[in-house]
Structure 1
Amino acid sequence: MRADEALTDRPSRRDSMDASSAEKPCKCSYCGKGFSSPSQLETHRRSHTGERPFTCSVCEKGFAQLCNLLTHQRLHTGERPFTCSHCGKGFAQSSNLLRHQRVHADYRPFQCPDCDKSFKSTRDLLTHQGTHTGERPFTCPVCAKGFIRPFHLLRHQQVHA
């Protein structure tokens, strides 16, 4: 066997890439992203088309995925299957329970880049950062006075009532 024949018998890098793409043979015609099953591709395709085939029978809001409709319907039924073991508060989504559980711990993973303070949520960090920037994103529609927190705006609006 000649040396150049031996080289052609080995899979090329392109062949290796083809083998890995064979693991995800369903390709999106919009962006080229690969999926391992036609159902995954169909769900992804809806992100391009805006199709929402699953509709809430109560409010008629549409969803691209059935699981999102089922979660949404808990708003109407009041079902809260995820319960905090510390305080008993119920949640419609497990992610909301996980976020809530930070209340019971002193875990503060969101640190301000401008000072030593840390926060339990990104929302609290962003609100705090307004103290450094002077930003007051909550503006009174009557007098245009700005506030760092929405609660402060609501309390202020009672002045105009």
Structure 2
Amino acid sequence: MDTVKQSLKEASIFTHSQERPFKCSDCGSNFKRAADLREHERIHTEERPFSCSHCTKTFRTSSNLRQHQRVHTGERPFTCSVCGKGFTQLSSLLKHKVTHTQERPFKCSDCGRGFKSSGELMSHKRFHTAEGLFTCSVCGKGFNRSSHLQTHQRVHRFKSSSNLRKHHRVHTKEKPFPCSVCGKGFTQLSSLLKHKSTHTQERAFQCTDCGTGFESSHELLIHQRVHTGERPFSCSHCTKRFKRLSTLRIHQRVHTGEKPFPCSVCGKGFTQSSSLLRHNVTHTKERPFKCSD
């Protein structure tokens, strides 16, 4: 019994000590336990011995596998004591709890402004950097947001002087093609022709599968993906695919932490303008949805 007590005492002392006797031969990192070293070495060997029984994903640690499997089982063992919302990870619960308080523990070291999450702080700090995090591969210009980079890259996409002239109208506000019915102006003749169908209710582009009509060939092309199941726009961060490029851009903000639509009242950021508009109502007494009964 004394031997057991002595072993437990020694283990406790070792846990709280700074001693790290297990060294990685690849990078020199030190660890307290041999098990920690073995787990770390998988970074170098790329070994992922823990595979998910529901999909093809593999993991370096059993704990990462357990967390992932909750995606399939729907298990959410970490519950918010305020609103009852469940989470798959403790870290997600802790991040969520801040939304119930006015606490903003993540402070900007440049201006002192506080944020509720590290993602919001990281997005904000880009405005203080002299050089943007998102760099154009053509001219090397840097931007604070990926959406700003995508907008800029259009400058490099003009193959003819006529296309460039059309584009310049975005900046000059010139709209040389007016609608004879309502007077609305357009930068391109094709846009005017497309607009005119809104006055006639004409839907010249018919789906051969279901017969639904559309005002433009582009709208028809997007619709047909409902029948074909085609999702040509894939996320570079995960395996998700999308029917529309705009939907992919919105989704990618989940990975980048980008929230380009900030609330002018409280500063909270949103990935979509619709989410911001919905949030804005929380600052007013407005109740726009009326019951007809």
2:182 to 45, 59, 62: 59
CA deviation after TM superposition for structure 1 residue 134, in Å: 0.5
Runs of at least 5 residues in structure 1 that lack an aligned partner in the other structure: 1-32, 35-43
Q: 1:47 aligns with which of 165, 172, 197?
A: 165
CA drift of 1:133 comes to 0.8
SS at match of 2:226: helix
Q: Report the Cα offset of residue 73 of structure 1.
A: 1.0
Higher relative contact order (CA 8 A, sep 6+): 1
Partner of 1:15: none
Distance 1:52 1:102, change over 3 A: same
Structure 2 counterparts to residues 1-161 of structure 1, below 5 A? 44=162, 47=165, 54-63=177-186, 66-160=189-283, 161=286
Contact 1:80 1:91 in 2 (8 A): yes
Letter of the 1:134 partner, please give it.
Answer: G
Find the aligned partners of 2:219 and 2:279 in 1 and give their Cα distance. 30
> RMSD in angstroms over aligned alpha carbons?
3.0
The equivalent residue for 1:18 is none
Larger radius of gyration: 2
TM-score (norm. length: structure 2): 0.35
In 1, the alpha carbon distance for the partners of 2:164 and 2:233 equals: 34
Partner AA of 1:145 in structure 2: K
2:147 is matched with which residue?
Answer: none
2:236 partner SS: coil
Identity %: 51
State the distance in 2 between where 1:83 and 1:55 align.
27
Matched pairs, number: 120
Measured after TM superposition, the shift of residue 71 of structure 1 is: 1.9
The answer to whether the 8 A contact 1:81-1:92 is kept is yes
**Residue 139 of structure 1, CA deviation:** 2.2
Structure 2 residue identity aligned to 1:159: T
In structure 2, what is the Cα distance between the partners aligned to 1:159 and 1:88? Answer: 42
AA in 1 matched with 2:184: K
Residues 66 and 150 of structure 1: is their aligned pair in 2 closer, same or farther, counting only changes over 3 Å? closer
How far does residue 66 in structure 1 lie from its aligned partner after superposition? 4.5
Helix, strand or coil at the partner of 1:80: coil
On the 8 A contact 1:82/1:93 being kept in 2, the answer is yes
- 1:54 and 1:69 in contact (8 A); partners too: yes
Residue 137 of structure 1 aligns to which amino acid in structure 2?
P
Q: Please, what TM-score do these two structures have when normalized by structure 1? A: 0.59
Question: For residues 109-159 of structure 1, what are the alpha-carbon distances to aligned partners after superposition, in whole Å with 9 as ceiling and x for unaligned?
Answer: 111111121111211111111011111112223332111123322322221
User: How big is the shift at 1:88?
Assistant: 4.1
Write out per-residue CA displacement over residues 46-68 of structure 1, whole angstroms, 9 at most, x where no aligned residue: 93796865421123234566544
